[in-house]
Amino acid sequence: MDSNEQISLLKKHFINEGIYEFTPVNELKIIEFENNNDVLIPSDLKQYFTLINGSGDVPLDNLYEFYNIKRFNKIFDEFKDWEGIPDYSQLDYKKFDNVFVFGNYEFNFYSFGIELFKSHKFTNRVFIFCGGEYRIIADSFYSFIDVYLNHPDEIFI
């Protein structure tokens, strides 16, 4: 299955989870994000932004929330002022300087981030974070979607 089909399945899943309106972005918004952050967005993530672009700033019925490009932040920026549980201040932000948060589960009890670089890489690892704990759950956004849709029990720490 190619990434277009995978993104289409994700969109259908979002509809089944209560999201009916989508606000996709154009290529110019993606280029603006890349220029502002000195990174290149991989093609699978670009497709997500141009076809879905988040879950509308609300959690899905299954308590996952996927972010739009405006809310897509470096992990430090996402959690620098965080207060609560889990304690994200325990995270070594320097180690994850190139990780951008694209979603969460159960109101940030778990958060999901993807590595982005200045040049295209073969892999863009996807992490799950829970306070100071983390693990790699996929080697691309496309792979994360596959795990999310087909093997959700493999996601959590």
Nearest to 26 by CA among 4, 56, 53, 2: 53
Token pair 């991989």 is found at 42
Can you give the pLDDT at residue 76?
Answer: 97
Nearest to 71 by CA among 86, 51, 55, 83: 55
pLDDT less than 70: residues of the chain: none
At residue 67, what is the residue type?
A: Y
Percent of the chain with pLDDT over 70: 100
Can you give the pLDDT at residue 138?
Answer: 97
Can you give the pLDDT at residue 156?
Answer: 86
Structural domain that includes position 93 = 3-154
List the structure tokens of 122.
């073969």
Determine contact, residues 111/129, Cβ cutoff 8 Å.
Answer: yes
Residue 74 belongs to a domain with what CATH number? 3.40.1580.10
pTM greater than the 0.85 cutoff? yes
Can you give the pLDDT at residue 157?
Answer: 75
Q: How many domains does the chain have?
A: 1
Nearest to 68 by CA among 91, 87, 50: 50
**Which residues are bridge partners to 127 per DSSP?**
113, 136
Can you give the pLDDT at residue 2?
Answer: 74
